[in-house]
Chain A
């Protein structure tokens, strides 16, 4: 019964459909052709759109990269660089025997860096300094060229340079931007024994021997001690029409494989600090230091020693040996504040039997307003032969960029 009903229903439906639309074969063909052309048109549109989208992608990519290049160009492709540092000091010191005092404000150093990258492996670097703010006849300061050299990376991690450069000795001779060290004034040992800041004219090579071990070798102009002079600091000719009869050699080995640690040793040989005038006096400098930073704690320690030929004793007895050392622990509380203490001792007449050493104890703090801007305050207690040491307060402000 059910089957019968279903068959009737299907039959009715078929006949109904057949009656509603019965296009002829011709009509069917036209319909198909019409649809076909519409499909072709749509396909064309789609491929046009695809091409346009692709073109838009290319255009936007090109635009974005061009804009990016314009935006980043001044930073990444700049070939000539400019920078500088400076520091102003205030000293309020009294001599131990109360016969003298030093109350002074001094824009100690104003330095401008200029560099130029000629190619990926050839560059120029220079440092021009105005010391003590004003230079000229009878004035307190000087205008000095402290660095000006061409450097060439002649191989991977190997470089050579020629010109006027800082000697690879000690901690602060090469890196002395104010925010990188504690104490308003630079330490006395590196100043009076090494003597920092020390530059000479010549040629040098340097590079890595293995991971964390590097070397520097330099052949350069030597010291010249004029009549009556015996301190290395007085022998710096500063590469101004410097006597170059007798050159000098400096070599350094530096170990920096462990983060936060630097251990280095330098040797310098001067063939004649009289530069061929009068009696020949050769000299050798040995310097070694450690700079160790672990979390907030830092320790710097340095030892330096000059050995001059005995002939120098005819100028001043005891000048054949000149030595100094310092030890400086510090603690950095946070990004802003660090506290330090330093004990130092130096002696430009260490070869004599009398006590000629200058001892100094410093304690103070650095306040970094910005990583590159520092305010400094410290107290110094100096003991020198004949009650000639100065005690008192030093204040400073420094920056670099």
Chain B
């Protein structure tokens, strides 16, 4: 008899507390937008290229300007990109920013149902940074944590167009993990093309 009332009380308490928690949460955050955008593209680019080495004052005057460039997606590029993504690449061109051998890319890839916006910085054919700029799915948001994204640092592109290092995934968010892996590899591939392009344009 005592046990019966314990379960009832437990259930009632749980019901009351969860209702209270929901009402408090919704009233507290009713004004907060749920867009899932963490950083805008231009802000990301600004942040990436203002990172200076040892002498920030001199850097401003001596650093060459950041160039906004376009990579036109030719048939050959498309077929390589499709191998990396596992599906055809949409669009006709990709815009990117470059200074010297450093490029920054803002790319989108569908996780499960919604596109994830991912910023990738590549220096000297190695990933310097991966940052999730917008995440719109209701699950798998763990890919945006620095603990996760820092795993990509230093990764290069293998001959099979994959990443050179292992990325520990997230249980229950395999599709989001795959999407970030693909975009990281794609950025490495695009970077190699961008560097080729700027080398051939040299006088």
Contact = CB atoms under 8 A, between A and B. Distances in A.
A100 interface: no
B92 A154 contact: no
B25 interface: yes
A260 interface: yes
Of B35, B113, B141, B147, which is in contact with the most chain A CB atoms at under 10 Å from its CB? Answer: B113
Contacts of B25: 154-155, 158, 205, 207
Nearest to B31: A155
Contact of A271 (B8, B108, B136): B8
Interface in A290-319: 291, 293-296, 309-311
Interface stretch (B45-53, B99-107, B163-171): B163-171
Given A64-B93, A269-B14, A155 B166 contact: no
Interface in A234-288: 246-249, 251, 256-260, 262, 269-272, 280-284
A33 interface: no
A282 B11 contact: yes
B56 interface: no
B4 A115 contact: no
A24 interface: no
A154 B34 contact: yes
A14 B4 CA distance: 127
Contact of B4 (A171, A217, A280, A371): A280
Nearest to A206: B138
Contacts of A159: 138
A120 B136 CA distance: 8
A270 B114 contact: no
A68 B138 CA distance: 27
B32 interface: yes
A95 interface: no
A248 B10 CA distance: 10
B171 A293 contact: yes
A157 B141 contact: yes
Nearest to A279: B4
B8 A282 contact: yes
A118 B65 CA distance: 43
Interface in B122-139: 136, 138
B193 interface: no
B29 interface: yes
Nearest to B138: A159
Contacts of B197: none
Interface string B141-161: 110010110010000000000
Contact of B169 (A217, A246, A257, A260): A260
Given A115-B113, A258-B147, A269-B14, A310 B3 contact: yes
Contacts of B108: 76
Contacts of A218: 18
B15 A205 contact: no
A121 B34 contact: yes
A45 interface: no
A109 B118 CA distance: 35
Interface in B9-66: 10-12, 14-15, 18-19, 21-22, 25-26, 28-30, 32-36
Given A75-B110, A295-B166, A156 B32 contact: yes
B34 A75 contact: no
Contacts of B174: 180
B90 interface: yes
A320 B36 CA distance: 45
Given A115-B113, A217-B18, A260-B168, A269 B7 contact: yes
A383 interface: no
B93 A284 contact: no
Interface of A: 64, 67-68, 71-72, 75-76, 81, 115, 117, 120-121, 123, 151, 153-160, 171, 174-175, 180, 205, 207-208, 211-212, 217-219, 246-249, 251, 256-260, 262, 269-272, 280-284, 291, 293-296, 309-311, 371
29 contacts: A68-B90, A68-B91, A68-B92, A68-B93, A120-B34, A120-B36, A153-B34, A153-B36, A154-B25, A154-B26, A155-B30, A155-B32, A156-B32, A159-B138, A160-B22, A160-B26, A175-B171, A217-B22, A249-B11, A249-B15, A259-B145, A259-B167, A260-B170, A269-B7, A271-B12, A272-B8, A282-B10, A282-B11, A291-B171
Interface of B: 3-4, 6-8, 10-12, 14-15, 18-19, 21-22, 25-26, 28-30, 32-36, 86, 90-93, 108, 110, 113-115, 136, 138, 141-142, 145, 147-148, 151, 166-172, 174, 178
What 8 A-B pairs come out closest when comparing CB atoms?
A282-B7, A260-B168, A155-B29, A249-B14, A153-B34, A72-B90, A271-B11, A259-B168
